[in-house]
Structure 1
Amino acid sequence: MMHPVYLPFSEEQLLSHFTDINKNGRCVKNVKHLRYYKQSIERYVNYLKNNPIARGKPLKDTRTPCQIEKDERFWTASCLMTIFYSQHRAVDLTKLFIKAYGNTPPLKGVNSWEECLEGELHLFLKPNLPSPESYKRWLRENLTKRHFIPHVLNSADGKVNLEGPTNVDAMFLNSKNGFAVIIEAKVLSDISYDVTYDTIRNQIARNVDVMLEENRKLCPPLNKRDPEKTLFLLITPKLFRDNPSSRLYGYKMREYKTNPESLAADLPHRSCNWEEISKRLGWLTWEDFKDVNKNCCLWLNK
């Protein structure tokens, strides 16, 4: 295993959860993510070996080598892979989804969580989802309504793409029926509140936007995702769900859930049934995952 606490899986297992990328018209394995995990683990292990007593160490010395302890990539990979490889995967996921969305999936024509999970389930880490063309067109036409700094506006002149792909933290995808859950995971950080050319495009709105878009040109099986059967899930520490005003995502999730039309204000290029979309947004904590499967988030045992 790569690390007994923060990533108790093999390199081969981890690599299998990164999506293929389109390179010169061919779908090939994306190995760059693997290097990040290996280097982080190596730094951490070496630091602990050379510094067996951690108390009193200044943060300037521990911040980089101990990044793994608060790294969303590790928390996400370890927790979700534990669920994915569980002998009771369908049961575990059903319990979690019921807690996040209710007893019945908030999706048209879908009657049960069992129906969502029957088929060929995949877990992808850090998949890229293209920015919707409708948003990029809208932004080009409304750029001065979303930004006001001259040199930024000047740099946009002549650019075709004013927003790159959204790198979501994880995704569960059933390639047989198109059901998917797009996941945004947080440990200490907050959501971003802007992108380069749009000062008020927050990270949750961006996730919802790509959630609603088809991706037929992506490498399989990502091209099998059905936007009408896709949910958004935020995962955070329980501390911040219990104290939602401590983070921007606390305000935005509350706003989107209690006032669905606020989604329209943040996604002005779309026309949707926002009440239905609002029901497709869920919020779980890392502690929720551990309650369902005790092998999740082993660092929380401390």
Structure 2
Amino acid sequence: MRASPAAGHTPAPTLGQQTRTGTLHLAFEVRGGRTVLMREFQKAPLMIVRPFALPCGTLSVFVVNPTGGLLGGDHNEIQISVGPGAKALILTQSATRVQPSATGAAATQAVHLSVACGGRLEYYPERVLPFAGSRLHQTLRVNLDSGAQLGLTETLASGRVHAGERLAFVEYRSRTEVWCGPQRLYLDVLRLTPAPQTRAPGIWQHLDYAASGVFVGPGEIGNWPNVLGRLASGLSAGGAVWLRAAAARGPCLDADLYEARQSLRQQLFGAQPLKIRR
């Protein structure tokens, strides 16, 4: 087993391999009765579009990657903090395209979110799209203070389906966990390593798009989002609301996920429906 590099040290790329390390740090706080982006640090290829306030008072930010996506060996680091009373919505402009490298190295991404008491962070990135031969290792950790609110969804495609690359990636590995102080509210660990037999009809059947989510808020759920054969929700052992969905087509999954998010936001946060123009 190869030892991990020391913290803060990025190993030099091997001959013929160019790698990129994208960094994005955002801090939201309340000033003058409204949420503002107080601090930001951007390092290409991670960038943000100018923040804009929604009618509900939430500050929305789009994360963009102007390159062709994550190449094997690339690393993204995202840190987002939300202060007391602040409300932030983080979206991505497009899918996260994961491309292979000549050496077979994995692309990596580490996301760390923190929310203070009375704050709300909603993080709804577009789907991950793994190309044939690609690897992605991702970790996402959320630290909540007591009384903090969270909305989080993640979406995965089986590959570039229309290009005939269904389940042709080498590996997809993710670990998502949500903590409130010393208590873990939610843990989702996924590792997919497709093999030739996995790509045959009947393993994923006809479903090429999957989603998961977790929501934490003070409200109670009286109407659980559930669509037979397509979407389910429930309560984790730690008290967080979990969400699972799958569909044969991306737009169908997006529509189910949108309706489920709107329902959970209203019930848990008492929030009005989001209306975002891309």
Q: TM-score, normalised by structure 2?
A: 0.26
Query: Relative contact order, CA 8 A, sep 6+: which one is greater?
Result: 1
Name the one with the larger helix percent. Answer: 1
The structure with the greater share of residues assigned to strand is 2
